[in-house]
Structure 1
């Protein structure tokens, strides 16, 4: 939501930004200045948190997208890497088999009965079956797709049931051909499989695929969003878990867009108050472009058996977008009228590009 003050500022800036060329045949160019301040209530969809929500601070906009809209995300970078849907709590398991038709429920049943491929607080091995939440492309569970087709194995995929109705497990295999991804997928019990060709689109961080719908639109173009609020897979140190790290479902994660050149840094109110922070206070701050969980779950205190989650009022965040605009961001509400899935934050421009 943009304040009336912001609308007036935007209109004045927009009028000042009109520039005309020397020829009558060309259209006038309108440069829209970044929004200077605002308040946004995130449309997470309510208590079942069905949406991931992409935020663009410079436009004061949000884009809610159903978390179950997609299953796999295909990187558009130089390498060929595929991510599973961590916002749904998906997990993947390498079968060591390189033929789709040779994988069946025989391989899936032991994983299902043991809970080895379930996202839960009691699965001490879950960290082995998820993409690294802080920087998934640095350690995707499916690795890098090999240019040699015979080297790419079949994975079993639990599509996730974190706030989502369980769906049949899948078997998947990804190949590379002529610079494109080739996805093979089927239900675990199927004796045939479907094939989807996925081309890279460099305007986006990823190209998304749904097993039911094929290629689908999920996130905005890489330069058109700054952070995403979503439920999803998180991690925490836990000695009893494999590698000392527990992967578990978390409702209120904030991922900033590290693959779209967005940086973030946390600032404590004890060092300087949100209201007092200005451009002169930027000196010495290091924006994080590698860990997309810099905001993560840190903006709220986790609940427990005898306490509900709450906003942490002792901190705020700076977000530097792809254009170089720097905003301060402070979360001010976890719920709306007591309903989860609708947190709010305020933001203000500290430095324009």
Structure 2
């Protein structure tokens, strides 16, 4: 006997079966297509350039982050390596001492009086105390962290004051414990130290640490950014400097995301104009993934005590992101209304995936 209650259940069941059948037959939801072209004014924060800014071309997005937000970057790769904050002009000095409490003001004062641990144009030894700007993981100043605790020395860290107020120097030591980093840190004058565990996160190139706040969010996930505009440590050939190379602070650096598998190459207008570069011109192009300074400071020129720098309009860049999208990028302005720290660029998709 069919009752109203049975009919109600039958209708509900039929509707559920129909909806399930429709859901199964629908095409899968596709990802959002990459942005085809755009213009971005980088929010570097103004004349004192307080921000590093991460750019995602396929989304047409930027993420400004304060340069002083972090002190150390812990690599998430197979090795155990730690970088210092080159965007602030930080330097680290190897003390040759393996006990945190045995390092103090005596060692720091010698560095202060000599100027050896200052980022300046007159410090001919600065290259010895910074990570290699072009590929920092290939030559970090702190080397690789040893699995033998007794082999990991204490470093004196000048946290950098490029465009920032000076902050207290620190002493740091990094060990490995149970597959994690173990950071020891303290003020120079302290006779005790704090300890912090830092776990790797494979979604990111680095895990960032502030010596005041602990683990902090800095860069996006490794697949979600293409290049970063920032002040930072750069190098130039200089015969009087140690190893013939001077490390010095530079305001307008562009680092492409080499550790996130982003490649970049510079193209000269004299070879092919920006407007004329198409997918047909990609043949034979070699994208650089072992030097994050291919763009670097090359997009701008000039500058000095009484001379403002200018955009170099004779070149542009081809960038291949981690997903295989390929863009052309051209910087078009160094300032906004004459204010530094707000450069801009245009970009266009050459080949999408």
Q: Which residue of 2 is the match for residue 345 of structure 1?
A: 345
CA positional deviation for 1:27: 11
8 Å Cα contact 1:324-1:352 kept in structure 2? yes
TM-score (norm: length of structure 1): 0.93
Q: Which residue of 1 is the match for residue 74 of structure 2?
A: 74
Q: Indicate yes or no: 2:285 matched with 1:285.
A: yes
Give CA-to-partner distance per residue, 1:145-197, whole Å, 9 cap, x none: 00011110000000000011100100000000010000000000001111110
8 Å Cα contact 1:94-1:154 kept in structure 2? yes
5+ residue gaps in structure 1?
1-19
CA positional deviation for 1:24: 3.7
TM-score (norm: length of structure 2): 0.93
Q: Tell me the distance in 1 between the aligned counterparts of 2:352 and 2:136.
A: 30
8 Å Cα contact 1:262-1:320 kept in structure 2? yes
CA positional deviation for 1:284: 1.7
Q: Tell me the distance in 2 between the aligned counterparts of 1:318 and 1:226.
A: 11
Q: Which residue of 2 is the match for residue 157 of structure 1?
A: 157
Larger radius of gyration: 2
Instruction: Count matched residues.
Output: 334
Give the 5 Å matches for 1:231-310: 231-310=231-310
- Residues 152 and 21 (structure 1), Cα distance of their counterparts in 2 relative to 1, 3 Å cut: farther
Q: Which residue of 2 is the match for residue 98 of structure 1?
A: 98
Q: Tell me the distance in 2 between the aligned counterparts of 1:108 and 1:289.
A: 37
8 Å Cα contact 1:319-1:329 kept in structure 2? yes
Q: Secondary structure in 2 aligned to 1:118?
A: coil
Give CA-to-partner distance per residue, 1:30-88, whole Å, 9 cap, x none: 42000000000000000000000000000000000000000000000000000000000
Give the 5 Å matches for 1:42-53: 42-53=42-53
Give CA-to-partner distance per residue, 1:174-221, whole Å, 9 cap, x none: 000010000000000001111110000000000000001000000000
Give CA-to-partner distance per residue, 1:230-287, whole Å, 9 cap, x none: 0000000000000000000000000000000000000000000000100001112110
Q: Secondary structure in 2 aligned to 1:232?
A: strand
CA positional deviation for 1:307: 2.2
Q: Tell me the distance in 2 between the aligned counterparts of 1:307 and 1:103.
A: 43
